[in-house]
Chains A and B, each alone.
Chain A
């Protein structure tokens, strides 16, 4: 989808390097992501997928290279950082809903504080988003009262409440019981078709193959493959990718 018009680059990562002490987590990672594109990021555990995603909204600071988001260079400059975080939403593996707030307040907090939205407008928007993820009736509950799948759908709605241009997902279904994975994937599928830019770290190969426009394969801190889902799944170029695919296909 979205392949006809020439899309605008929204995230440009140029030669990103990141070390944790002596450990080299990212080595000169470069990638450009275009508006509306849905990218699946796959690879073995510990290969740097989360680290890469987290450098994009500076939950981790990169050591070298340059990240440009929607024309703004990502740095410690607080103004730029706040501008970028408004545009880039994130969904975490462990949901991270604010446990002391109701579902509704989880959705209205950031729009009211960061976008200075009036409460009534923020609540109306929140209710629309909750309806979109099928949880309108749960608005007054607290996160602990919801199942994992419901919490993750709320977390997606919470990110959407800020109208981000890009959504980052870090293994959004990995902490879920198997019967709840599909309800979350369904929401993500609907989002993908709505045209928002998405970067999804995932082990759900079915989702990657069916929904993504592009697959990036990480291994030991570098991007080994950056290609279409068709070519990645039918004809991976590297031995490491082949080994990874056969492992996820045949279980662990």
Chain B
């Protein structure tokens, strides 16, 4: 990861390009592989795209939720604090699988008429809420780590509370929160596999189907594991680079 530290911009760029190339191109080399992998190459590629899609959507939404709920937990307004505390307590105290099933089965019954949620959307919502709760704690810790003098300096210069938050508190707290957020993102790549339970055909589900058709679990699951490893490595590189980028000006 030394190279990542020294060239954060390039590492981020390379990880992004690598991820995209991998997603678009993986069907080609896989197609050349012997059966049972070769014939199912397109399925593997589709599954990987669903997994990455879920991760990116739930990852971004989860960061947004984490920032909002992290702020809410620090609010002076107690009902808001209570709401955010309860949210984190609820999500962290129940299984992710239950949350996914809940969104899939229970949410449609309380949605207004005519609003249809796809299976993918249900999985994305449940994963966002889940990772958001874990992010909340990281963000809160990050905000608390910003020295109060930074806020006073910003306020004394005439910045509004919102500007102070966006320009000073948020970037500085992210520097503290990012390693933990990155951890949550890496877990999300793997946790997204639980979406199989609501018939989202993501990577693990593809593996399950292909081995069921071919009766050859070992090559199939080795391939699936390899694809997950490539994905988590790309995400880890991405976040390590982001961390290095944000680390500038920090005491080492």
Contacts and interface: CB of A to CB of B under 8 A. Distances in A.
A193 to B, nearest CB: 24
A57 B159 CA distance: 13
Contacts of B172: 98-100
Say what secondary structure dominates the interface of chain B. Answer: helix
A148 interface: no
Given A92-B149, A98-B150, A143 B156 contact: no
B92 interface: no
Nearest to B152: A59
B158 A86 contact: yes
Contacts of B158: 82, 85-86, 110, 114, 162
B7 interface: no
Given A92-B152, A92-B153, A113-B167, A100 B159 contact: no
Given A110-B158, A113-B163, A98 B175 contact: no
Contacts of B150: 96, 98-99
A192 to B, nearest CB: 20
A186 interface: no
Contact of B249 (A82, A110, A143, A159): A143
Q: What's the interface size class on A, roughly?
A: 20 to 34
B156, B248, B251: residue with the most chain A Cβ atoms closer than 10 Å: B156
Contact of A85 (B147, B157, B250): B157
Contacts of B152: 59, 92, 96
Interface string B134-160: 000000000000010110111111111
B53 interface: no
Interface of A: 57, 59, 78, 82, 85-86, 88-90, 92, 94, 96-102, 109-110, 113-114, 142-145, 155, 158-159, 162
22 contacts: A59-B155, A78-B160, A92-B153, A96-B149, A96-B150, A98-B154, A98-B168, A98-B172, A99-B249, A100-B172, A100-B175, A101-B249, A109-B159, A109-B167, A110-B157, A113-B167, A114-B157, A114-B158, A114-B159, A114-B163, A143-B249, A162-B158
